[in-house]
Structure 1
Amino acid sequence: MLKYKIFQKLLTMLALLLIPATLLFAYANEASKEVVKHTLEESASKQLEFTMRQMEQSLRQLETQTLMLVNDSTIRAYASSSDFSEYLNHLFMRTTIEEKLTLQSQAEPLISELTVHWPSIGESITSQGTIPYNYGVLVNKPMNRWIVDKSEGLLSFRLLFSFPAIAPPDLSNTVSIVETTISSDYLRSVLAGLDVSGNGTSFFYFPGADIIRSNDVDMELAMNLIEKGEFDGAAIAHPKLSVMQADGEQYLIQSIFSPSLGGTLVSYIQLDEFLGPLQKVNWLVNGSLAFLAIAGIMISYLFYSHFRKPFGYLVRKLEALGSGDYASRATVKTNNEFDYLFERFNEMASRIQSLIENVYEEKVRTREAEYKHLQSQINPHFLYNCLFYIVSMANKSPAAVVSMAKNLSEFYRYITSKAGSNTTLEDEIRLIESYLEVQSLRNKRLAYEIDIPSAMLGLSVPTLLLQPIVENAIVHGIEQKRTAGKVHIGGIARGDQYLIHVDDDGNGLYGEQLQTLIDNVHGSSQTGDEMGCGLSNVHKRLTNRYGGHSGLTFSTNEWGGLRVTLHLQLTQKAGETDERLISG
């Protein structure tokens, strides 16, 4: 292969100038991006963790206050105060409890409602007044943990503590239950405080419930995160970090799990908004590098257009002429010294073409005529066998006749459409399978196996390459031996050489018989033997197509039958085929 050393040296010098500068800038740019991105991630992570820690502390305080209320002596005594004669004390105790609940809810802005239930007497008191006692609702609420409640379209969070602490499922023997309720407005205030920090937009996600968000949250992005399971298994103490691509934008997603409420606090940041200012610096440096690159390219182009291009054009024309394109001519005008070389090349190509046209094309026509003659010898051989089978089975098995006729029609449709042309080995194998199916109708003991590597199926081969060999294996091998019935077709790839083996377990050929077959197939003359004639035709087609290193070989296989091997040598030395055809 020709190497353009001068042009390569020029390009190498230019590359040594541009590539290090570009790589250095790219590294500095990526490093600055990583620093900014890391700083942003760390700041947002700390803010998210701080917010969650504050919220959890507030919830712990509410849990402590609720636990103190449920153990309050007044609340516990109220359940039995109505049993005594001093009923006024019962009313006074009720008023005291209402005042406690009111003061408690006003002192703690997180609380939207405080409720005390007494299952034993069927009463309930809230910080907002008396409500009816509802056993059916109360008995289904889990105790001693926060629960998410979505009733009447409003999302709230409730905590229930009972006295005694371990309450039976039916609330029997339960003295009192204190229920603390916080609304979703508290969580929205937490989100608002987090968003004010400027580290992104945040929302709360509760599995099976709703999303608590501010107006700035992109709901499409939030739902996309939920569908992808971004928060599955998010029960971790520290923020979880991930980067997501959506609508051509990159988002930094951070989430932290709330062990009290069972939800996830999510914050997302659009990275391009924070990394955008770095792009201005990138454009300035890129502009300088682009100017340097354009100057280098212009110098390279001048050298390319005045030397490399015409020289490469001449090399391609020489390669085309060497590969057999004798009509190749140099038609480009360069207005320099290359025009003289192009004229001399055209004169040489014209003389070569006139010589080839008188000999080579005539030889090609002769080969094509020989192919057609060989093809006409093969087709009737298969047709006569099939027609004889149809006649013999017409009264015995109409189904077999139908199958035979169908396969026969498919076979002739194939060879008429492929006549005089090449095909692929995969099509030939498909034809052989159809042929073997037809033969298995005649001979019930016939079994076959085809093992051709997939890499060989795309090989371009002449039509009806394998059918005569398989037919000979059945007619002259298997049908001549009562115990025979196996046909195996296998392929082997060895570099640029491909081997196809056709084995049968018939009578086989030994000694003088095998040598006679080899002489008939490889010799210049053909005998009247049907088997030798068919195999000789295939051998000639292989040698004509792939050269003298290709063709058929014969040997005895491990079954005692005959092995026919097709050798396909796909690559040849330059000019070997042309020289062979010209010399006849």
Structure 2
Amino acid sequence: MVKYKIFRNSMIFLLMLVIPTTILFSYSHKVSKVVVRKTLEDSASKQLKFSMNQLEDDLRQVEMQSSTLLYDSSVKAFESSNDFSEYLDHLMDRKYLEEKLKIQRSVNSFLYDITIYLPNYDKVISTEDGKTFNKEFFKAAPFYKWFTSTENGEKKFHYLVSSPYQTKPNLLNSSIIIESTINSSYLKNVLSSVDASGIGTSFFYFSNSEIFTNAEIDPKIIKLLKNNINFNKNHSTTPSLSVLEMNNKQYLVQTLYSTSLEGTLVSFIELDEFLSPLENVSLLVNVSLFVFFITGGILTFILYRHFRLNIRHLIKKIELLGKGDYKSRVTIKANNEFDYLFGHFNNMAERIQTLIENVYEEQVRTREAEYKHLQSQINPHFLYNCLFYIISMARKSPDAVIAMADNLAKYYRYKTKKPGNQTSLLDEIKLSENYLKVQSLRNKRLHYSINIPEEMHKIIVPTLLLQPIIENAINHGFDQKIDSGKIQIKGHKSEQNYMIVIEDDGIGMSNEEINRLLKRINQKQLLDEVGCGLWNINQRLINQYGPSSGIHITRSSLGGLCIKIVIDNHENEVLQNGNITS
């Protein structure tokens, strides 16, 4: 009963999760479509109204400039001076008027041409090259309103004003005619601004059923619009919204009438294409919910059947391990992914057991190493030599005495306080510097350099890591070679490990001797006392940081030995995140 009850409750929980989610998504999808459509309508309406207002403002500005120019004193002065056309003043008036027309045209944000006609004198001043006086054009042209014409296949828009003003202007009775001309590129820019908003395709529809557009438009769509929208009566100054359908596709159409051009700005967009991403998302979510429901039921059954027993057994073993039974191991075979977990648990338990044994062994080795190094360093011979040096230099060089006493005190203080089996690399560097300073005061041919980046100073290393190696270089390398005395200590970091390199120019060793020494220090148990210091350091590095760490010995380019201390980067960072063992 318990099994079916758990499974049934899991299925009920799954249904309670999926059904409300499905209902909520369906409602949100419906609301999203309404909101997106409303946003589209508002955006299209605002863009259409903005473009139309800008168009009307530009045309009104041109009309006002044309009317103002008609009664400009410079135009009147030029007209009056035509009776004396051979005088210089007349030529100067013409030149001034031409410059003024260019300036007036450049004031606007768009390009248009201005032309002044003097019918009585058959003269023309224009910003457009090659402009002539065409009497036939003016006989049919309306005044004080915009009208269109086609010149060389290009549509142009004209606005004419005349002086004196007449209800029905007669060309023969007009003394001055001002013509403002806008070419088709201006309307194309207006349409481009509408299209650039991404809310559809736009075009102009004029009263003579003429279509002006920037791009090719499907004739079927034009026919659909003409059949369903009465452009001749739809002269509202606010955008008009319509939804038309053709071939199972809905089109959102907005129109706005231009009173100046007596044409309609039309913008349309296919709703299905605009809303298709929402439909794709809806389909994807529905499929995902269905798959989630099926997989959820299967997962509930599998978890119930295979999870509880395995977890219970694993928890029991973890509790035993926590109580100190490090020999505790998982013994059941699950024949599923738990085998991987059980295997890693067993490996972890084995590593913990091994680590505890290694730590105990390491502590024994460390204490032994500290004892041996203390015993070897605190000896009468080394101490007496330093004291005799202090006595001999007491009168000759007090500074040398102070330096010897200071470094000797720091050296023995560090060696005798037993700092534990781990410390920072910075402490080891300081100890090595104190030792080298003591030795360099006694041996003037000893020169050393330490170049270890600051970013390595904080890494955790075994105690007495560097000083025994330096001591070997001085005692066994320099004493048998008169012209030696150089020690270089360097450090660098890579992605895999830290490396500390100690080189000297002492007597060195042959390749065969190096190989024998490497073989001894890599033995698990040391059979003799030769190389015990290097063996101790090497074994502690391997135990603490893994088999990729340890000591490597080669011949140095200086002439002596090159000892490389390699510390695994990852394992050392784990130690840095914890506490240093004391």
TM-score w.r.t. the length of structure 1 is: 0.43
TM-score w.r.t. the length of structure 2 is: 0.43
